[in-house]
Amino acid sequence: MKILSILSTLFILSLSYIFGATEEKTGEITFKKGTLVEVALLTIQPGKESQFYEEYFSQALPLAPKYGARPIGSFMVEKRDQGNSPAQMVIFFEWESLEKKRAFEKDFDFLKIVNIRNDALSFLNTGYFQVDKDITYSLKESGTYEFAALWLDPNNAPKLEQYFQAVLPLASDPKIQFELIAQLSSLGVEDKNYHPNIIFFSEWKKGMEGRNELATRKEFKDNLHLRETASPYKDLLLIKPILN
């Protein structure tokens, strides 16, 4: 029996060697208080991926550090649940300040290459946001993440808080497991063209199973109208992290 056990172990190890034991990709995302967070929703034109990444990004990224800039995280859109945004990707980018970002956009070296980017994209929406605390969060390739951008009705905005008070206690339910990663508030400037009042970036730790479970709960169904009244239009996107 002992010999049989050893042979079984060797067989399993050999299969791992032949087929390759793959480890899930993981990473971290960090948002910093006191910085400008640029959010970009974009779609690359088919066949122009190398133009965007190799021709534009390879030249733009080296320009960014002197403006206190760094990539925060990039995500592929897996599903559009609400809204009409045709975005293929969601990208978070950090800048030292609004003034630094505006200075970057006047940099002659950036102006020389911006048309390369514009020509490669069929859709681009960007806006400026901020967080009220430092956040570092672990990501995994198989995780289910949600990007929720809300435009609030000023007359009904308080109803969003009423919705959260009723529904958020369910977040820790073992069958749901919802966690808010970051809450981003609009910087309130007219720069760019993407101006939701608030963005919630979250993880469904039980995946779509947990998200679907929440939809069956009485607390959710009875209070959903509060969220919809507070925010008649929203972008709800399920996104997957791009990890190296």
In degrees, to the nearest 5, what angle opens at C-alpha 120 toward C-alphas 119 and 122?
A: 85
Token pair for 174: 């073992």
Question: What CATH code is carried by the domain that includes residue 228?
Answer: 3.30.70.100
Note whether residue 49 is domain-resident: yes
Q: Which of 139, 107, 126, 105 is nearest to 31 (CA)?
A: 139
pLDDT 10s digits, 137-151: 999 999 999 999 999
Q: Which of 210, 218, 142 is nearest to 179 (CA)?
A: 210
Question: Does a structural domain hold residue 17?
Answer: no
Over residues 161-177, the pLDDT tens digits come to 999 999 999 999 999 99
What's the token pair of residue 70? 């760094």
Decide: helix, strand or coil at residue 204: strand
pTM, whole model, 2 decimals? Answer: 0.89
Residues 153, 232 contacting (CB under 8 angstroms): yes
Q: Binning pLDDT at 50, 70 and 90, where does residue 3 land?
A: very low
* pLDDT above 50: residue 7: no
Residue 55: CB partners within 8 Å, gap ≥ 6? 113, 116, 120
What share of the chain in percent tops pLDDT 70? 91
3-state secondary structure of 243: coil
Whole-number pLDDT of residue 22? 66
- The answer to whether residues 131 and 184 touch, using CB atoms and an 8 Å cutoff, is yes
Q: Which two tokens stand for residue 101?
A: 């970002």
Has residue 20 been placed in a domain? Answer: no
Q: Is 141 strand, coil or helix? A: coil
Asked whether residue 20 carries a pLDDT value surpassing 90, the answer given is: no
Residue 198 lies in a domain: yes
State yes or no: pLDDT of 9 exceeds 50.
Answer: no
- Residue 16: pLDDT above 70? no
Provide the residue range defining the domain that includes 44: 29-241
Query: Number of structural domains, the chain?
Result: 1
Q: What angle do CA 186, 154, 171 make, to 5 degrees?
A: 65
Residue 138 belongs to some domain of the structure: yes
Residues paired with 79 in a beta bridge:
238
Instruction: Give 212's contacts (C-beta < 8 A, 6+ positions apart).
Output: none
List pLDDT tens digits, range 33-87: 999 999 999 999 999 999 999 999 999 999 999 999 999 999 999 999 999 999 9
72 in a domain, yes or no? yes
Quote the pLDDT of residue 34: 97
> What distance in Å separates the CA atoms of residue 144 and residue 78, rounded to the nearest whole number?
10
Could you tell me if 90 and 196 are in contact, meaning their C-beta atoms sit under 8 angstroms apart? no
